[in-house]
Chains A and B, each alone.
Chain A
């Protein structure tokens, strides 16, 4: 886009501009503007503040300002026991709350050396994959809404309501359900819940295709996103990308394959990879991942067999409530665990899972007490927002909105 010089301007406009005493001619046509896309904005996903330096409508620089949702998670973890922290992990990546629960509980179990029974592992996998589907549905819906396709948002939220109904019956809460426990899950999966899961999984492919039929061949959607926000493979790795954003740039890296946890090594699924690295590729990766997650859930439902859902370690695992109220030893164990916490050995551990946004990791340092000495949350959204200045340089202001939507940051996770 060529800059206007004062010879190109009509002399009458020039005269009008010069009459205003605050503007000199250099200022009027050749200045750059600083635009504040403030914390309260419909298109930034949450409270993200972006300061953009614009030359006309082209972005030449960008500074993200985070911290508007900094709640002090890491400091609070040092003051509460491992069990008390489970509801807090729900609120980190609040679109897929169960995957954060699973990540925390796996990290604590790795530190304490607790083995979880197989049925509980399959149940955890099912809820984690449902959380991934829910997160990608919201990501696709709000991304399409930012670009202009308002209907898709309501359709994907309708699908998400079905997942919330499943969680309502299975976990007891529709949203921010703290369902996993150290050593297993809170209660067994009822047959009605599993039937609902099966019905949802059978229908998701057709419903997602219905949403995609509005977008995939839509000329406006493709022209707005093709070639926008490209990041190369080396840059993506250098900026610490993980998850769907990295797979859209050509790197086939999935923590469920690289460092398998739970029972992922027994499940057969494909990793969708695209090489272009632009917004459209990131959208396609997410849409494909929904279908792969549906496949994983279907296989888990087949491989699941009846069994225990909590490990048999009375000193570390909370007993069932029915037994607490009727038997003596369970009452004592419940009292000790709730008040003093489980005491893992001295050491430190880092465990990461493939969350819906990328690699969600917990780094725990324990000094043998009931609460961690240090807890660090490695959140993928924080890392991805860091690369925004690199992605938006040279694009227009309306592309900034599309790029933020395709990166899919969640500020609860980024600000901790």
Chain B
């Protein structure tokens, strides 16, 4: 948004512009389903006719990270899988948010073992944690509403002049 970058002070126009942009962003959050295990089934269930996620604006679950703004990590993340999750998170364009769905992603869940990462916030910045094993689809929709409220409070200058992350790209894979 080039115009509001030029207007540095908080006038009437910029806050209204911010509000309109935030309203547009929060009502069309496209989730990127990082469905790994059992929570992925409840995420699919939140997209089925009974707990429709499309009525909240998340019309499609795009499987390519380049077109999404919300990543729902659903399922146990192991050390072997953590590199893949981080790679996909890096490929998402700004602004982006992360929901840690379920107990396994929040703290490692019921798996206190050698190969499970005890909480994905060890390598990803998380916005909303959802409790449950697996959380009911209503619970996930509640988390989506929290994310929408969070987006509604953002301003354009939060997303300007951000440092670009170093991509984890290996040339001769």
Contacts and interface: CB of A to CB of B under 8 A. Distances in A.
Q: Do chains A and B touch in the complex (CB under 8 A)?
A: yes
Interface of A: 38-42, 46-47, 67-72, 75-76, 87-88, 91, 94-95, 138, 154, 157-158, 160-161, 164, 174-176, 411-412
A287 to B, nearest CB: 20
Given A70-B78, A76-B111, A176-B133, A47 B42 contact: no
Contact of B115 (A46, A72, A87): A72
B36 interface: yes
A68 B84 contact: yes
Given A38-B84, A161-B48, A71 B36 contact: no
Of the candidates B40, B88, B112, the one having the most CB atoms from chain A within 10 angstroms of its own CB is B40
Contact of A176 (B38, B75, B84, B115): B38
B105 interface: no
A67 B80 contact: yes
Contact of B44 (A67, A71, A157, A412): A157
A163 to B, nearest CB: 11
A94 B49 CA distance: 21
Nearest to B84: A39
B144 to A, nearest CB: 19
B170 interface: no
A164 B138 CA distance: 14
Contact of A40 (B44, B84, B133, B134): B84
Contact of B114 (A42, A72, A158, A411): A72
Contacts of A175: 38, 41-42, 45, 134
B3 interface: no
B37 A412 contact: yes
Of the candidates A67, A68, A75, the one having the most CB atoms from chain B within 10 angstroms of its own CB is A68
Interface string B133-154: 1101000000000000000000
Interface of B: 34-38, 40-42, 44-45, 48-50, 63, 75-76, 78, 80-81, 84, 88, 110-116, 133-134, 136
A238 B114 CA distance: 33
21 contacts: A40-B34, A47-B37, A47-B84, A68-B36, A68-B84, A69-B36, A69-B37, A69-B76, A70-B80, A71-B78, A72-B113, A72-B116, A91-B37, A94-B37, A138-B41, A154-B48, A158-B49, A161-B45, A175-B41, A175-B134, A176-B133
B75 to A, nearest CB: 7
Contact of A71 (B35, B45, B63, B115): B115
B115 A70 contact: yes
Nearest to A38: B84
A161 B47 CA distance: 12
A158 B36 contact: no
Contacts of A411: 37
B114 A75 contact: yes
B75 A69 contact: yes
B58 to A, nearest CB: 15
Contacts of A158: 48-50
A157 B113 CA distance: 33
Contacts of A76: 111-113
Contacts of B112: 76
Nearest to A155: B49
A158 B47 CA distance: 11
Given A68-B81, A94-B38, A40 B88 contact: yes
A41 B40 CA distance: 13
A46 B36 contact: yes
Q: Which 5 A-B pairs have the closest CB atoms?
A: A72-B113, A94-B38, A157-B48, A42-B63, A68-B81
A95 B38 CA distance: 8
A41 B34 CA distance: 9
Contacts of A71: 76, 78, 111, 113, 115-116
Of the candidates B38, B78, B136, the one having the most CB atoms from chain A within 10 angstroms of its own CB is B38
